[in-house]
Amino acid sequence: MKHITIVVTLSIVVLVASVMVFFVEAWTTPIIDDYNFEQANLAKFEVLPLLEGSDSLEADLSYDFTGTSITEVIVIPGKGYIYTAEFQGFQSIITYMVGFDTNGNITGYKTLIQGDTPGLGAEIAKDWYKDQFPGVSINDFSEIDGLVGATITFGGSAASLSKVVDFHNSTFEGVVLETPAEKLARWKKEITIDNAVITDVSGDYTLSGGISRIEFANDGSKDVAVIYTVDFEGYAGIVEYIIALDLVTNDVIGLRIVTNEETAGIGSVISEESFQTQFDAMLQIDALNGNIDEVAGSSAPITYGALKGSLTELINFHKSAFEGEVIETFNEKILRWKNEITVDNAIITDVSLDYTLTDGIYKVELVNNGSTDVAVIYTTEFIGYNPSETVVYFIAFDLVTNDIIGFRVMYQSETPGLGAKIADDSYFVQFDDLLQADALAGNIDDLAGATITTGGLKTSLVDVVNFHKVEFQGEVIGIPDPVEMSDANLLLALPDAVTFTSVYGDYTYLEDILNIYEAKNAADEVVGYIYYGHVKGYGADNIEFLFSTDKVTNTVEIVILNDTQSWDLADEYANYDGSAGLDFNTSTWLENFEGTTLQMLLTTPVDTVAGVSTTTGAMISVIETIAQYHTDESIGGGN
């Protein structure tokens, strides 16, 4: 009967609480609504100072606001207009009010509701921002300053105001707004010639590289330019642009962004006139090499990187279709690169079958100058920032000095503008005559914002150098000495122990294990064993840990010694929901390995955690390896 009493009591408590919430809400809601109404009315007088108490402040509900950011408009004859509008900020929907006078000037601005980041997006509600608006023409508010570091919020504000202005001009000023088709037709003439006759010739070509349309611009007597319609995948969505090339010089005449789904205030800035004017009379070689300026204050490397890549593909298409150039095939480019980093007219022989390939190396080629082998080229891959695709590169070693003489990236799908820079010519140069010791030590340039990509490359280079040292320099890469661990840390893994003795030398070396300790109590009795292990986690980061068992193979503790994982920032890379904690060191997920048996870990595998599957999957793999090793090696004798 006791449990029935508890259920009844809880039901009564819930019922009473619900009733109280209902009455409190019923009492507070009108108060809050009245306060918001009062503040909104005060804001109307602030954004349109000509208002008087006798003026009607009723919103006109007869207008269609579809396609705008407007929620209501108040028209005050002879004095002006008050718009209420909203847009998506970084963390919240931001509602604001803006006033226009009858001469087309802004009379005031007021942020009504916002929930953005204090010190960043929340600054949109501060006086320094709203005080910029009074007296500014509604058709020229480009000089309104935002806040660096809050581009999404302030970019969204500018985009929303543009929609308000377009609605106002078309509704109250008699301005006839262009249709999208009319705007596109005007742009095509702007970037070619006035009164151009535009003819679609797409059917005459095999389109590629994001090109969806090819058109000729004719001056009435001859074709003077070709207009391409092109799209590419940016950071948040598709960007479509048109670009015109002169049919005599083959240089760029102009460019316009047609569709832009990028983030407001970041990638969206490539739609601004200040960005597009740089393409007027741009040399073809600059477009080919991606020599374009970014908009000051913007932070959109992915968008810019994708645009540069699109321009390179477009120019190569044009050179092939209109200049008669034969563009290198992929295989031709690879062969040219291999000659560039070794010797001209090299005779290249695949000798991969002569070796046992390891550590991401999947091809070994000898380079002969016609009389002797002078270099060896390794084709290698590693996982960078994008866990679903490898970065594939080849690297050449001189067979006399055994130093590196060149490097090229064959394939990569890293982040444009960040890790993708690993494939830039400017990055390759550092590998010309790079000392083997520097490659082994990872003394290569990091790419800003791409530490995972370059970290993966550094690890891969160590593997390649060691392979080369064994196969071509005759070195024996011996078993490393056990790595020592402090008693203080070992006590965390087996608190009942008093002394710890390394016994790793009695057993088979395993790369995942840095040391094995036998732990004894004060009576000099064995109480268990501690494995000092390491595993490659996300990117190039290693996780070092201690994993202990008692003397009968029950697991005791797992202790993470370093936290280099992006566990607490996992939502930046995947959809981790925080269910296993926000700190890898103390994650509740680690408890799966404690208080069980080694056999249970082998027969009933632990599940990975969604969103941080690389880290958790790697840990599971190594723990299972240790569990099997403990059994196979009979650690302690017969366990």
Name residues of the chain where pLDDT drops below 50.
31-33, 35-36, 297, 570, 639
Contact status, residue 352 vs residue 363, Cβ threshold 8 Å: yes
Nearest residue to 346 (alpha-carbon basis) of 391, 377, 384: 377
* Cβ density class 189-227: b for 16+ within 10 Å, e for less: eebbbeebeeeeeeeeeeeebbbeebbbbbeeeeebbbb
DSSP states of 29-92: HHHHHHHHHHHHHHHHHHH-TT--TTS-----TTS--TTSSEEEEEEETTTEEEEEEEEE-SSS
Q: Which residues of 325-351 are buried (b: 16+ CB within 10 A; e: fewer)?
A: eeeeeeeeeeeebbeebbbeebeeeee
Widest distance between CA atoms in the chain: 104
Reduce the DSSP state of residue 183 to 3 states and report it: helix
- Compute φ and ψ for 45, nearest 5 degrees: -70, -25
Token output for 245: 């090339």
Structural contact between residues 392 and 379, judged by C-beta atoms closer than 8 angstroms: yes
Angle, CA of 96, 101 and 104, to the nearest 5°: 100
* Cα–Cα dist 229/243, whole Å: 7
CB atoms within 10 A of CB 513: 21
Whether 121 contacts 151, CB under 8 Å? no
Q: Using an 8 Å Cβ cutoff, are 458 and 451 in contact?
A: no
Return the residue matching tokens 């130093």. Answer: 403
**Cα 496 off chain centre by:** 46
Instruction: Map tokens 């060191």 to a residue.
Output: 585
Neighbours of 56 (CB within 10 A): 10
Query: Do residues 455 and 541 lie in contact, with contact meaning Cβ atoms separated by under 8 Å?
Result: yes
DSSP character string of 190-259: HTS-TTPEEEE-GGGS---TTEEEEEEEE-SSSEEEEEEEEEEE-SSSEEEEEEEEETTT--EEEEEEEE
Q: Bridge partners of 242?
A: 229, 256
Q: What count of residues does the chain have?
A: 639
Instruction: Supply the DSSP string of 544-556, one letter for each residue.
Output: EEEEEEETTSBEE
Instruction: Retrieve residue 626's tokens.
Output: 């240790």
Residue 330, pLDDT score: 85
Q: What pLDDT was estimated at residue 174?
A: 79
Q: What is the structure's pLDDT at 505?
A: 87
* Distance (Å, whole) CA 639 – CA 622: 20
For 238-250, the pLDDT digits (tens) are 999 999 999 999 9
Chain centroid to CA 594: how far?
35
Q: Which backbone phi and psi does 131 adopt, to 5 degrees? A: -70, -10
Separation of alpha carbons 330 and 334, rounded Å = 6
Cα-based torsion angle of the residue sequence 372, 374, 378, 384 in order, rounded to the nearest 10 degrees? -170
Residue 32: the pLDDT is 47
Residue 3 is predicted with a pLDDT of: 53
Residue 455's nearest CA partner among 444, 467, 469 is: 444
CA 210 → CA 207, 240, 260, 334, 420, distances in Å? 8, 9, 15, 24, 19
Ramachandran bin of 132, using left for φ above 0, alpha for ψ from -120 to 50, beta for the remaining angles: alpha
pLDDT at 97: 95
Can you tell me the distance from the alpha carbon of 190 to that of 389, in angstroms, rounded to the nearest whole number?
42
Q: What are phi and psi of 173, to 5 degrees?
A: -110, 0
Contact 268, 291 (CB under 8 A): no
Which among 241, 199, 249 has a CA at the least distance from the CA of 219? 199
CB within 8 A of 370, min separation 6: which ones?
345, 347
Q: How far apart are CA 42 and CA 96, in angstroms?
A: 13
Residue 259 in contact with residue 240, Cβ under 8 Å?
A: yes
Q: For residue 530, give the 3-state DSSP assignment.
A: strand
Please provide residue 546's backbone torsions phi and psi, each rounded to the nearest 5 degrees: -115, 140
Residue 517 belongs to what H/E stretch? strand 513-520
